[in-house]
Amino acid sequence: MQRGHLLVVAAAVLWSTGGFFAKAPIFDDWPIEVRGILLAGGRAAFAAAVLVFFIREVRWSWRLIPMVAAFAAMNWTYLNSLVLCEPTLTIWLQYSAPAWVFLISWILFGEFPVRRDWSLLMLAGVGVSVILWGQWGRGSSLGVLYGLASGLFFALVMVTLRWNQGFDATWLVFLNNFTTALVFLPAIIHSQVWPQGPQWFYLAGFGVVQFAIPYLLFANGIRRVSSHEASGLVLLEPILVPVWVFLAWRHTADYEYPALSTLLGAGLILSGLVLRYVPMKQSI
């Protein structure tokens, strides 16, 4: 495996620790109704504090506004879903985002999906339906809605990043995180809940280890590998998310094993992603 591949794999592995941090029992004393905002704001603040040192060019445009709005909404919905749901369910609902991207691009830009796009759209649609069917009415309906919304907002982040592709990538990611932390600050102050002791270290790890460092690794690795290879390698993230949560927190009282419907739905979404993004060797 070449250096570029190793960098992308390392990024995916670090990204996959999101469930480990969000489900850490150390945050159990935070009220459930504000825990998602506290985690989202704290992660964004620490990530921005690291990324600011790697910005090469600062530019402004009105097109940055929908991007940062979508990013803040994605963080809020994703972390609320992680708090309320089993992590496998949350991460695979968010990984329905590429299907949303095709639909949004079709509607807004008139870009008609090709055959491989349709395979992802159909498999992702069936996969999400299986997950919703299995989870609805089982105490996590709100978390499922948050997870589904996070996939849609993630897709909007992808589309708006495309609008701003001429900007320094690190500047865009820094601005997204800085704005998210700023937007959530009033709610955090109103909650009157502040990290205590070791909670600061977990939040710092969430922002630096789970987001800032893997982004920098990925940005470096993507220069050395094709986009299709990178898209295939980052599928390690949703596969590893429940693994780290199981290894670290399976002994806690509120640990949940992935439901069969979640695993079936995840398998369908994964199949669609593989068919769309992983290059297939042509037979001779």
Domain boundaries, the chain: 3-277
Contacts of 63 (CB under 8 A, 6+ apart): 160, 163, 164
For residue 223, the tally of other CB atoms under 10 A from its CB is 9
Give the global pTM.
0.86
Task: At 269, list the tokens.
Answer: 């979404």
> If we measure between CA atoms, which residue out of 81, 76, 101, 85 comes closest to residue 147?
81
What's residue 279's pLDDT?
63
> If we measure between CA atoms, which residue out of 51, 20, 23, 17 comes closest to residue 36?
23
What's residue 283's pLDDT?
39
Q: Is 191 exposed, middle or buried (0-12, 13-18, 19+ CB in 10 A)?
A: middle
Place of tokens 């690190």: 170
Whether the Cβ atoms of residue 81 and residue 147 lie closer than 8 Å to each other = yes
Place of tokens 């949940």: 256
Report the alpha-carbon distance of residue 212 to residue 234 in Å, rounded.
16
Task: At 124, list the tokens.
Answer: 């992702």
What's residue 88's pLDDT?
87
Q: What is the DSSP string of 171-214?
A: HHHHHHHHHHHHHHHHHHHHHT----TTHHHHHHHHHIIIIIHH
pLDDT (tens, 9 = 90+) of the chain, 284 residues, equals: 588 889 989 999 999 999 999 999 999 999 998 999 999 999 999 999 999 999 999 999 999 999 999 999 999 999 999 998 888 889 888 888 878 887 887 787 777 767 777 787 788 888 888 887 877 666 567 888 999 999 999 889 888 887 888 899 899 999 999 999 999 999 999 999 999 999 999 999 999 999 999 989 988 887 777 655 676 678 888 889 999 999 999 999 888 888 888 889 888 888 888 877 666 554 33
